[in-house]
Each structure stands twice: as C-alpha cells, then as structure tokens.
Chains A and B, each alone.
Chain A
C-alpha cells in the first residue's frame, strides 16, 4: 500500500496569508496525486488533479506542484471561506487508492 503523509496536520492562518501543505508518498507515484477540500459537514470537493492541473470553477488562488514522491498544495492569499480540511489522494496504484491523513486549515 502506498502511504501518503501530509504536513502539517493543522495550520492556523490569517486572511491573505499564503498557505503551503505538503504530501509525501512512500514510493514514486509520478503525477497521480490529487487534492480535495472538505468543509465541515460537507462532502469532499476536487481542487487539483494530477499534481498541478486546475479544476473548472476552483478559484485560481489554489495551485499544486510536484512529482514523484513530494507534492505541494498552495493557497495564495487565503480567504475566510478556505477554512477546511485538505486531503491528498493517490491513484497510481490500480490495486488500492489511498488518501493522506488530512490538514486542517483554521482562520485566525
């Protein structure tokens, strides 16, 4: 099983600040890494696919980068509505897809 480890687990940020969340895979997964946002009592929502590809309707302040084992989700100029938990997800393994443990972003 490919293990995804996110850091940090929790981040408290002021509005307009830049947020960086990292996701490290236990083995190389190419660019098969995706990011989701989950707000309280809501279903997850796809933010970024294949490490850096944007999703229609997602604000441009969200971006992704990385390949192989190290990936980053960046939120430029954080807004209050971005308070959520963010998950990375790998689809490299056809046998079992896995998620990171999540990073909770709180607005100060």
Chain B
C-alpha cells in the first residue's frame, strides 16, 4: 500500500531554515508527482508547490517563490522541502501528498510534520 512517511517535528528560530523529508513506499517513486501543502494552527490548507520526482522539475506557489526549495533523491524514494527565512507565521503542519499527474486530485497524504517557529 502507498505510504508517505515524513520526518519528525522541528522547532526553529526566526530567520532559520527547515528541511522536511517525505519517504515514499508502495509504488514506483517516479510515477507520482509530490505536492507540499501546509496548515497553520486552526486554519485551512495552503498549497506550496510540486515536484516531479522523475525529472526533478518543480513549480512553486508565488507566495513562496524564493523561499522554498523542493528536491528529491530517487535512490531513497525521498522528497525534501526546505523553507528558509522562517518567521512565526510559518508555524504549521507541513504535508507531503501525491498525485498521478501535476493537475489532478491528491490521492495520498503523509502524516504531517509540525514546524514551530519561535524565538
């Protein structure tokens, strides 16, 4: 069965960077696109961007352009999301989630990673 297992919770200071990992299993890693979606406490879902694990191409939401970097390691079936210049408003649960093609429903979700930004 498809599983997306994310790295553990992080606490960061303002201005720092965070890198969250998402290890995929149960399917051919390069067959599904991977999205990153975040959810601030008590708030809704916010799409951050997408990576094609096959070639590594990415597309980011305009709001995060210049601050987010998504990468992948095909040898370990893992995707990464790095967010820099963190501020308190970046405190959220970050999800990786997969879809068969870029513009498609999101079929599978990771368990989420809580990132807390606090001085």
Chain A residues packing against B (C-beta within 8 Å): 1, 32, 34, 36, 38, 43-46, 49-50, 87, 89, 91-102
Known A32-B103, A43-B109; further 13 A-B contacts with Cβ < 8 A? A44-B95, A44-B97, A44-B106, A46-B105, A46-B106, A89-B45, A89-B106, A91-B105, A97-B35, A97-B50, A99-B45, A99-B46, A102-B44
Closest A residue, CB atoms, query B110: A43
**Total B residues in contact with A, Cβ cutoff 8 Å:** 23
Instruction: Choose among B50, B62, B102, B109 the residue that contacts A44 (Cβ–Cβ < 8 A).
Output: B109
A36 to chain B: which residues have CB within 8 Å? 45, 106
The residue from B44, B95, B104 contacting A43, defined by CB atoms under 8 A apart: B95
A-B contact pairs, 6 of them (CB 8 A): A43-B110, A45-B109, A94-B102, A95-B59, A102-B44, A102-B45
Residues from chain B with a CB closer than 8 A to the CB of A96 are 47, 59, 61-62
Q: Evaluate contact between B45 and A94: CB separation under 8 angstroms.
A: no
Contacts of A91 in B (CB 8 A): 99, 103-105
**Number of residue pairs spanning A and B whose beta carbons lie under 8 angstroms apart:** 57
Chain B residues within an 8 Å CB radius of A44: 45, 95, 97, 106, 109
Nearest-Cβ distance from residue A44 to partner chain B, whole angstroms: 6
Closest-by-CB residue of B relative to A99 is B45
- Chain B residue with the shortest CB-CB distance to A38: B45
